[in-house]
Amino acid sequence: MQQWVIDRGVLAQARWCASPNCNARPQSVTVDTLVVHGITLPPGHFGGGHVDALFCNRLQADAHPWFAQVAALRVSAHVLIARTGALTQYVNFDERAWHAGRSCLDGRDAVNDFAVGVELEGTDDCPYAPAQYRQLARLAVALMRYYPALTRERIVGHSDIAPGRKTDPGPAFDWHWFDRALSAASRQ
């Protein structure tokens, strides 16, 4: 299986859908963290393009009763991995995506400054798909090559950097399965 390559912040294997919800990282910051998130729009529903719409500020508040709560948010992630394993990149990895919100890791606030955010289409209580673990592992390996300071130990859940505020990717995310997938992807 061919290794993935990130070229100037872009992963060729991903569909590109540019989000305006990003900005420059601080100049002195080294990217050394990968944050795993979970998202569905509306909650518990998969597909439909609503995540694209949210991350690109096009979500119609009246399209679903729940959308009124989130349509005005200005958020993004670097990549979304759909249930099928399809990847969509919204923000160049070298830029700061707005995915973590108020957050702290190892005493460092503003995790968006030094992290890549990857959303998995899923919920805290619904098992993630095998294709998502494989794709996340392949992406993590590519990111660790692109950002040498990013190591396996620096792959965390949103709940790890915003405890009490966020729960994703939740108990349905099998960290052991992901670790096995990451080991396999590292050998390719």
Task: Give CA–CA dist 48/86, Å, rounded.
Answer: 14
How far is 71 from 160, CA to CA, in rounded Å?
A: 25
Contact at 8 Å (CB) between 18 and 89?
Answer: no
Q: Which residues contact 168 (CB under 8 A, 6 or more apart)?
A: 36, 37, 38, 39, 124, 157, 158, 159
How crowded is residue 180: how many other Cβ atoms within 10 Å of its Cβ? 13
If DSSP codes are grouped into helix, strand and coil, which group holds residue 33?
strand
| Selected catalytic residue, list 95, 119, 121, 153 | 119
- DSSP character at residue 111: G
Catalytic annotation present for 153: no
Tokens of 105: 């890791």
Query: Which DSSP symbol is given to 91?
Result: S
As annotated, the active-site residues are 119
